[in-house]
Amino acid sequence: MTATPVRARPRVVGAPAHRRTVLPSGMRVVTQAMPGARSASVAIFVPVGSRHEDDAHAGLSHFLEHLVFKGTREHPEAGALSQVVESVGGSVNASTDRELTVFSSKVPAERTDVALHAVSELALHPLLRHADLTSEKPVIADEIRMYVDSPSDHVFTLFDELLYGRHPLGREIAGTIGSVRRATHAGVVGHWRAAYRPSGMVLAVAGAIDHDEVVRSASDWHAAGPPEEGPARRPPVAAPAPQAAPRGALR
């Protein structure tokens, strides 16, 4: 039997290595210069997701991702921040997973400053108003219903339930309609304060950018960021129980 030779991965000639800087706040800034690109992609990774929630706070990470778009320190009107990014030909978005919440923006390379401003406003300076929480509850409840009504989406939730049981990894990322209805303003604000700390975040930027300029911009808006209040808090979560037998579900 002849062994198949292992081929080395192709390397782009002339591509610079990524650069990394840790800001005084503890945030890690990682950039990859791509001189031939005409755009820049910017993202802040926050190390919190549905696996870090207990039953009483199921879905809070996803709820918070929705709520920050309702208004920020410099853009208090809902949708105003998105309009600023779109006005320069860019886009801004966010997503919540089991272990991460990500705020991202893509813009023409010469407007990287707009993308950096957008993701920093969302992650570090949301208003988190009580009225916005109330108005967003039915929106998220409808989103959960949409997942349940879509077999191609719901099958993955069923798989996770069977695999992990009552562990947070086995739960729908958005929580349940009941947990969304029970969400409180104090709970959402407390979740943000506990999880959205610059010392745990990663800022990643790729495109036709300059690392030192990115670091200077990030340092400026972090200097005005919220202070961290003691050590980060996460609820204790036991490891998923091992499976003793095959499991199945039909719905």
Above 70 in pLDDT, residue 86? Answer: yes
CB proximity list for 9: less than 8 A, separation 6 or greater = none
Domain ranges in the chain are 26-223
pLDDT, greater one: 239 or 21: 21
Predicted pLDDT of residue 9: 47
1-49 tens-digit pLDDT: 445 444 444 444 455 679 999 998 899 999 999 989 999 999 999 999 9
Mean pLDDT of the chain: 88
Q: How many of the other CB atoms lie within 10 Å of CB of 190? A: 14
pLDDT, greater one: 46 or 152: 46
Annotate 8-39 with b (16+ C-beta within 10 A) or e (fewer): eeeeeeeeeeebebebebebbbbbbbbeeeeb
Mean pLDDT (whole number) for 177-205: 95
Q: What percent of the chain has pLDDT over 90?
A: 66
Mean pLDDT (whole number) for 177-199: 94
- Of 23-27, 85-89, 118-122, 163-167, give the lowest mean pLDDT range: 163-167
Residue type, 89: G
194-214 tens-digit pLDDT: 999 999 999 999 999 999 999
- Of 11-25, 108-122, 130-144, 201-215, give the lowest mean pLDDT range: 11-25
Q: What is the 3-state secondary structure (H, E, C) of the chain?
A: CCCCCCCCCCCCCCCCCCEEEECCCCCEEEEEECCCCCEEEEEEEECCCHHHCCHHHCCHHHHHHHHHHHCECCCCCCCHHHHHHHHCCCEEEEEECCCCEEEEEEEEHHHHHHHHHHHHHHHHCECCCHHHHHHHHHHHHHHHHHHHHCHHHHHHHHHHHHHHCCCHHHCCCCCCHHHHHHCCHHHHHHHHHHHCCHHHCEEEEEECCCHHHHHHHHHHHHHCCCCCCCCCCCCCCCCCCCCCCCCCCCC
Per DSSP bridges, beta strands 101-108 and 28-33 are unpaired
Has 161 been annotated as catalytic? no
Order across the sheet with 28-33: list the strands. 19-22, 28-33, 202-207, 39-46, 101-108, 91-96
Per DSSP bridges, beta strands 202-207 and 28-33 are parallel
Q: CATH assignment of 26-223? A: 3.30.830.10
Predicted pLDDT of residue 122: 97
Both tokens of 2, joined, read: 């002849």
Choosing from 65, 121, 136, 172, which is the catalytic residue? 65
Above 90 in pLDDT, residue 143? Answer: yes
Predicted pLDDT of residue 1: 46
Mean pLDDT (whole number) for 218-230: 66
How far is residue 147's CA from residue 14's CA, in Å, rounded to a whole number?
Answer: 45
